[in-house]
Amino acid sequence: MEATDNPALRIVGGHTGLDLVNTVEPRVPGAEPEKEHLNTPEELLEWAVRTRVVEPVEAREIQLVWQGEAALAAVLAIREALYAVLLARLNEEGGPILPYQPALEQLGTRYAAAVARGSLTLPPDSPKIGRLRLGDVAAFAVQDRLAAIAVDLLTRENIEDLRQCPLDEGGCGWLFLDRSRNHSRRWCAMADCGTRVKARRLTVKRRGRQLPPN
Ligand SMILES: [Zn+2]
């Protein structure tokens, strides 16, 4: 998905699980982010509608029945656990691998809770194939759907395509799936980090040229 109309937060991960991870800027392992986009239950719900985790009509119902702060805490736990696991997979070749077992357990527990609230149904349009529906309980819908999305990302997506906007080159550390044809996408979004880093390099170069020779 390309960057959308909201200038406050770009949606560029290519999977909602990655977009969840990318709700802090910059994404530096072990460091406090400069900007947190999910500060309140309202911000979470707004983000969930924007990323189509919930429909606008559902959001109204959720707001009436959920315990917003508890849901926010659950979602942030899912987010950080998912980030820890993805980071470990990114660093498998070369970099240090932080312990990610607790993060996997966290995700497993959250997913199990979602399944416990789920229901097995036979959809009217194809009653021969049963379907496990998760996230239908409004009070827990946001966290349960995001737990399912996190598990989907870890179990189904080709993690070979996972990239990190390069922090050591001035990028933001966000994660994204590189779906470009020749696997050459380097930045979360060329229009943002790529251009910014290039502009900065140009300024440094120009300044270098203006220095008087010694
Ligand atoms: Zn970036």
* Å from CA of 213 to ligand 1 middle: 36
* Å from CA of 165 to ligand 1 middle: 5
Got the DSSP string for 158-212? -GGGEEE--GGGT----EEE--STTS---SS-IIIIIHHHHHHHHHHHHHHHHSP
CA gap 68, 62 in Å, rounded: 9
Q: How far is CA 176 from the centre of its chain?
A: 8
* Å from CA of 180 to ligand 1 middle: 16
pLDDT digits (tens, 9 = 90+) for 30-39: 888 899 999 9
H or E element in which residue 25 lies: strand 24-25
* Å from CA of 17 to ligand 1 middle: 16
pLDDT at 5 over 50: no
* Å from CA of 57 to ligand 1 middle: 32
Mean pLDDT of 4-13: 71
* Å from CA of 164 to ligand 1 middle: 8
* Å from CA of 44 to ligand 1 middle: 21
Could you give the angle at the alpha carbon of 20 between the alpha carbons of 8 and 10, nearest 5°? 25
In the block, tokens 């170069």 appear at 205
* Å from CA of 192 to ligand 1 middle: 7
Using alpha carbons, select from 79, 140, 136 the residue that is nearest to residue 106: 79
Q: What is the predicted pLDDT for the residue at 95?
A: 58
pLDDT digits (tens, 9 = 90+) for 46-90: 999 999 999 999 999 999 999 999 999 999 999 999 999 999 888
CA gap 87, 174 in Å, rounded: 11
* Å from CA of 130 to ligand 1 middle: 41
* Å from CA of 3 to ligand 1 middle: 12
Using alpha carbons, select from 123, 2, 136 the residue that is nearest to residue 58: 136
CB-based contact 118:136 (threshold 8 Å): yes
Q: What is the predicted pLDDT for the residue at 3?
A: 40
Q: What is the predicted pLDDT for the residue at 38?
A: 97
pLDDT digits (tens, 9 = 90+) for 111-166: 999 999 999 999 888 888 898 999 999 999 999 999 999 999 999 877 789 999 99
Domain ranges of the chain: 16-210
213 DSSP 8-state letter:
P
pLDDT digits (tens, 9 = 90+) for 189-207: 877 788 877 777 766 666 6
pLDDT digits (tens, 9 = 90+) for 98-109: 678 999 999 999
191 DSSP 8-state letter:
I
* Å from CA of 31 to ligand 1 middle: 16
Buried residues in 58-79 as b, exposed as e (16+ CB within 10 A):
bbeebeeebeeeebbebbbbbb
* Å from CA of 193 to ligand 1 middle: 5
Q: Which residues, in sequence order, are CB contacts of 36 under 8 Å at separation 6+?
A: 23, 24
- The domain over range 16-210 is classified in CATH as 3.30.1130.10: no
Residue list, CB under 5 A from ion ligand 1: 165, 171-172, 174, 188, 193
Q: What is the predicted pLDDT for the residue at 4?
A: 42
* Å from CA of 28 to ligand 1 middle: 11
